[in-house]
């Protein structure tokens, strides 16, 4: 019987060994290292053990001998969540900064082109058209104002703006060419109704409408795509991490400290599973995010080239002048047809002295006074295309980026890394990307039937924006008022202030990355790590041993 009791006691001792794990002997180890570490994190040392204690109270970390109390575990778990959420926001701000840079560059150059075109029209039309321009300059300035408003996202119908411009121009030129007559508002209204049958400006209005519509629809949709992209990143980066993710991050980040293994770094595959579980909903953005980037690159291609933004906007003064010259060349024939359609005019106007000279000057001097494009648009398109291509894998690359600086590397790393329980090889396979792939994730307990609604809403925003960009590729006008509160980008996802990190690229940022040593915890045991269950087996055998001792 004595020998049986001895064997049972030895067996019980061997079962208890994994709980004490690393170098545990008859003397409990000091907790000085974690006390210093814990204090450095901003926590008070009240209640922090001086030496290791039994860890049955732990709810997240392995329940072996430990230097962490329940309060310490809770504090470090909350800290790991805050730190990881901070890292995600920093990564998002870095991407927002890059998108904002593209927005500012394109927006600034587009408005610069509009300003140059407007100034050129004024400078060339004054000597070219004289009083025909100076007395009717408001018609031209109104056109550029409407074009700017449209580009900025105002509720402006571009086709109506262009139609109205040509109608007003017809009325002004007809009135200017017939000053010797009295022309009332009713007569001018009749004149305007003849524009389709008369076609006083030749083919220029149709040509200009086609080119301006295609260019401005593409440009507006493109900058809106940048704005919406930044807004999606901002909102998704602010989605709080779940309780299960917090526990998984705690187990990976700070549980080694509680176990006296502060230098242990996570196994690579272990970190991947934790991150893929924590960012499962974010990874579901991948498909629509890629579609948006691809469509934006197609739109960007339309902005450059012979019929691109530069040539269309800079040539607008010349085309308008060309149309005016076409009308004034045929003014007698046009007058005849208008008199026939609207009735003869009666004398009673003012003298037309000098008008003939202005007409002659217009026929000769109407030309594009702007220099050729410097190629800036080509550079902008090349740059933004590169960054859009880089940002495509952003959401599925986050786990690997966030793990890159923290996992164990070097010789023997796979066998000596932290696997959630101890220094040992991590056996479970790596999960795929997205929520549906996490059903068997051993590190983060996820209900795949309950996706995050904020992220689902942003997926829908991406779909809507992509659909509108595709319409823009076909020259179809769209209204953006319901996709962004501020179409200019301020207050949106563009992140233009100094609080944004300064990464120049759109992929998961490598610049200004914060230190990633803390991770958020999880609520479930690592499948395949049976060692954490052994203490409970020993506790079951204890009553049996006591019974034997009584015999």
Q: pLDDT at position 142, please?
A: 96
- Lowest-confidence segment of 141-155, 445-459, 482-496 by average pLDDT: 482-496
Token output for 389 = 């291509």
**Highest mean pLDDT range out of 426-440, 465-479, 504-518?**
426-440
Q: At what angle do helices 355-365 and 70-129 cross, to 10 degrees?
A: 120
Q: pLDDT at position 13, please?
A: 43
Position 526 in a domain = no
pLDDT tens-digit series, residues 157-216? 999 999 999 999 999 999 888 888 888 888 889 998 999 999 999 999 999 999 999 999
Section 477-489 average pLDDT: 47
Tell whether the model's pLDDT for residue 74 goes beyond 70: yes
Position 45 in a domain = no
Q: In terms of pLDDT, which residue wins out, 359 or 399? A: 399
pLDDT tens-digit series, residues 102-116? 999 999 999 999 999
pLDDT band at 82 (very low <50, low <70, confident <90, very high): very high
- Domain limits at 115? 74-348+365-437
Tell whether the model's pLDDT for residue 369 goes beyond 60: no
Count CB neighbours of 269 within 10 A: 20
Position 6 in a domain = no
Tell whether the model's pLDDT for residue 475 goes beyond 70: yes
Backbone angles phi, psi at 292, to 5 degrees: -65, -45
- Lowest-confidence segment of 120-129, 370-379, 386-395, 446-455 by average pLDDT: 370-379
Q: pLDDT at position 476, please?
A: 79
Position 182 in a domain = yes
Cα separation of 321 and 482, whole Å?
A: 38
Q: pLDDT at position 474, please?
A: 84
Token output for 126 = 């004054």
Tell whether the model's pLDDT for residue 506 goes beyond 90: no
Section 109-130 average pLDDT: 94
pLDDT tens-digit series, residues 447-466? 999 999 999 999 999 999 99
Tell whether the model's pLDDT for residue 246 goes beyond 70: yes
pLDDT band at 9 (very low <50, low <70, confident <90, very high): very low
Q: pLDDT at position 482, please?
A: 41
Q: pLDDT at position 358, please?
A: 46
Cβ contact 349:177 at 8 Å: no
Position 112 in a domain = yes
Section 80-105 average pLDDT: 94
Q: pLDDT at position 405, please?
A: 86
Position 4 in a domain = no
Average model confidence (pLDDT) across the chain: 81
pTM: 0.77
pLDDT tens-digit series, residues 270-294? 999 999 999 999 999 999 999 999 9
Section 324-348 average pLDDT: 88
Domain count, the chain: 1
Please enumerate, as own/partner, the contacts of 156-162 that have beta carbons within 8 Å and a separation of 24 or more.
157/477, 158/212, 158/213, 158/216, 158/217, 158/477, 159/209, 159/213, 159/477, 162/205, 162/208, 162/209, 162/212, 162/213
Position 122 in a domain = yes
Cα separation of 212 and 209, whole Å?
A: 5
Position 113 in a domain = yes
Nearest to 138 by CA among 115, 113, 121, 152: 121
């Amino acid at each position: 019987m004595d020998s049986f009791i001895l064997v049972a006691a030895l067996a019980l001792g061997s079962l208890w060994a994994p709980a004490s794990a690393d170098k545990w002997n008859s003397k409990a180890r000091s907790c000085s290292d974690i006390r210093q570490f814990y204090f450095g994190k901003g926590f008070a040392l009240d209640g922090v053990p001086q030496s290791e204690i039994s860890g049955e109270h732990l709810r997240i970390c392995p329940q072996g001998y430990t230097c962490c109390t329940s309060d310490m575990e809770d504090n470090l778990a909350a800290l790991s969540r805050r730190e990881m959420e901070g890292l995600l926001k920093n990564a998002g701000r870095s991407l927002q900064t890059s998108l904002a840079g593209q927005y500012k560059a394109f927006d600034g150059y587009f408005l610069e082109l509009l300003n140059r075109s407007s100034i050129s029209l004024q400078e060339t039309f004054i000597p070219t058209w004289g009083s025909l321009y100076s007395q009717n300059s408001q018609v031209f300035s109104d056109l550029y104002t409407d074009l700017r408003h449209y580009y900025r996202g105002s509720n402006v119908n571009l086709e109506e703006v262009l139609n109205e411009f040509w109608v007003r121009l017809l009325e002004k030129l007809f009135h200017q060419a017939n000053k010797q007559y009295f022309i009332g508002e009713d007569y001018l209204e009749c004149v305007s109704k003849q524009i389709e049958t008369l076609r006083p400006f030749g083919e220029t209005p149709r040509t200009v409408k086609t080119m301006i519509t295609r260019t401005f629809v593409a440009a507006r949709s493109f900058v809106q795509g940048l704005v919406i992209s930044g807004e999606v990143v901002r909102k998704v980066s602010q989605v709080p991490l779940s309780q299960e993710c917090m526990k998984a991050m705690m187990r990976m980040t700070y549980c080694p400290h509680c176990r006296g293994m502060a230098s242990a770094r996570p196994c690579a595959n272990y970190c991947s599973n934790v991150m893929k579980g924590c960012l499962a909903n974010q990874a579901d953005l991948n498909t629509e995010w890629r579609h948006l980037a691809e469509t934006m690159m197609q739109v960007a291609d339309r902005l450059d080239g012979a019929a691109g933004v530069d040539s269309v906007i800079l040539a607008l003064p010349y085309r308008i002048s060309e149309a005016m010259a076409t009308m004034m060349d045929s003014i007698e024939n046009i007058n005849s047809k208008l008199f026939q359609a609207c009735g003869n005019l009666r004398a009673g106007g003012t003298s037309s002295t000098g008008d003939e000279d202005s007409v002659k000057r217009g026929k000769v001097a109407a030309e594009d006074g702007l220099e050729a494009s410097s190629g800036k648009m080509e550079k902008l398109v090349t740059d933004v295309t590169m960054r859009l291509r880089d940002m495509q894998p952003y959401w599925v690359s986050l786990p690997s980026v966030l793990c890159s600086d923290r996992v164990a590397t070097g010789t023997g790393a796979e066998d000596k890394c932290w696997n959630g329980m101890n220094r040992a090889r991590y056996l479970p396979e790596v999960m795929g990307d997205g929520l549906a792939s996490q059903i068997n994730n051993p590190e983060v307990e996820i209900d795949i039937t309950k996706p995050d609604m904020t992220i689902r809403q942003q997926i829908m925003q991406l779909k809507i924006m992509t659909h509108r960009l595709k319409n823009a590729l076909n020259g179809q006008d769209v209204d953006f008022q319901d996709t962004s509160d501020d179409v200019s980008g301020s207050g949106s996802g563009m992140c233009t202030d100094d609080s944004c990190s300064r990464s120049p690229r759109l992929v998961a940022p490598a610049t200004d990355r914060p230190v990633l040593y803390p991770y958020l915890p999880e609520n479930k045991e690592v499948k395949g790590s049976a060692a954490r269950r052994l203490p409970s087996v020993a506790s079951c055998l204890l009553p049996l041993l006591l019974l034997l001792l009584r015999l």
